[in-house]
Amino acid sequence: MTTPAYRIEPLVLPASLDARDAADFLEFSDLSDALALELWGNLDRAAPRKARLESWRDDDYEKLRLFFVRLDGRMVARSWIRLPQKENLQDAFLRVDVLKEFGGRGIGRTLLRHAEELAADDGRNTLQSFTEHAPVFDLDGPGILKPGTGTGAVPAADRGVRFAVAAGYTLEQVTRFSALDMPPSEGLLDALEGEAAGIAGDQYEILGWTDRCPDEYVEQMAVLMSRMSTDTPAGALHYDAEVWDAARVRHVEHEWKRTGLESLVAVARHRLSGELAAYSVLQHSGEKPWLAEQDDTLVAKSHRGNRLGMLVKVLNLRRLQEDHPEVERVLTFNAAENDHMLAINVALGFRPAGYDGEWQRRR
């Protein structure tokens, strides 16, 4: 069957939301919201307009290209391709989405082929993408597809899964998306903190700050943040070890602020050596006052087994309750095989809210 020809248009980012040329961006943002509502029924996983505009701009670490297709003057599909600029130079991260009512017309195939051609032109031979799945299927039931890790699953009959398989992508990993209703149960944080502190003892000091790492710790934060690329489960997905320094930490902090995020950071400091042993970042946006999102949490391998992950998460949740009592829930994402971090989140009260399939195709 011949795929109809569709005009693929690039999205040009405006200088601001109220710029004269912002109409396409605003419509693209509305399309992104509509796609989120189709699947999730809410905008929890949809970034606010300001955050999209700022985070989609190119920088020294990655380039992003966005595209759309219109039918009868209406934006009905989108695609994007992200090209890392420091590490992962063989990789391209891409995504294609089509409104359900316009599915089955070859629009998605056209956008995917276009994105793959752009990746090839840039010398990228490893392609990665993801699919999103509401928790309305049995992880151990019939009609599921298991990833290469063997842990977690996605529904084989899902539209996105069928599209990815037909395009030659392999399901390498499943990420569990979880939500915590706020505030946590009365006394729960006290109990969990007390248990964890009993194991950590007085070897560690738990510290916190907002938005900007104190200068005295920024080099150590760079070391910890680099380890997110090497010390967390990734299955067979290709990721290079990232090189972080103080400038990269400051760059990320600046981007968080530009996109309207307030970042609560908690760390565990080893008293004897002065070394930062763990960190966790919890973020809140005034444009989504009902929600907070867990960013990275990591415990250095040499300090694991001391319940530091629990201690830094508890501190951030306490600060969130105090500073933003309007927050109704907190979201987090974990590799399905990351038993240790999942156990911490389950103890805190997080419940499964969905699953992401992590896909890869090597040329």
3-state secondary structure 79-107: EEEEEECCCCCCEEEEEEEECHHHCCCCH
Query: Which residues are registered as beta bridge partners of 177?
Result: 333, 354
DSSP code for 203: S
Using CA atoms, how far apart are residues 312 and 309, in angstroms rounded to an integer? 6
pLDDT at res. 1:
47
358, pLDDT greater than 80: yes
CB atoms within 10 A of CB 191: 11
185, pLDDT greater than 90: no
3, pLDDT greater than 90: no
The answer to which of 107-116, 147-156, 225-234 has the lowest mean pLDDT is 225-234
140, pLDDT greater than 90: no
- Quick: pLDDT tens for 291-301: 999 999 999 99
pLDDT at res. 56:
97
181, pLDDT greater than 60: yes
5, pLDDT greater than 90: no
Q: Hey, what are 288's tokens? A: 């989504």
Mean pLDDT computed over 225-246: 94
285, 218 contact by CB (below 8 A)? no
291, 44 contact by CB (below 8 A)? yes
**DSSP string covering 209-244, please?**
EESS--GGGHHHHHHHHHGGGTSS--TT---PPP--
Mean pLDDT computed over 310-321: 97
Classify residue 40 by burial, with Cβ atoms within 10 Å: 0-12, 13-18, 19+.
Answer: middle
Mean pLDDT computed over 234-240: 95
- Quick: pLDDT tens for 240-253: 999 999 999 999 99
Using CA atoms, how far apart are residues 341 and 333, in angstroms rounded to an integer? 10
To the nearest 10°, the Cα dihedral for 65, 103, 169, 56? Answer: 20
- Quick: pLDDT tens for 37-87: 999 999 999 999 999 999 999 999 999 999 999 999 999 999 999 999 999
pLDDT at res. 2:
55
Q: Which long-range contacts (CB under 8 A, 24 or more apart) does 255-258 make?
A: 255/54, 255/55, 255/59, 256/211, 256/283, 257/211, 258/54, 258/55
* Mean of the per-residue pLDDT values of the chain: 96
Using CA atoms, how far apart are residues 273 and 149, in angstroms rounded to an integer? 36
Mean pLDDT computed over 251-259: 96
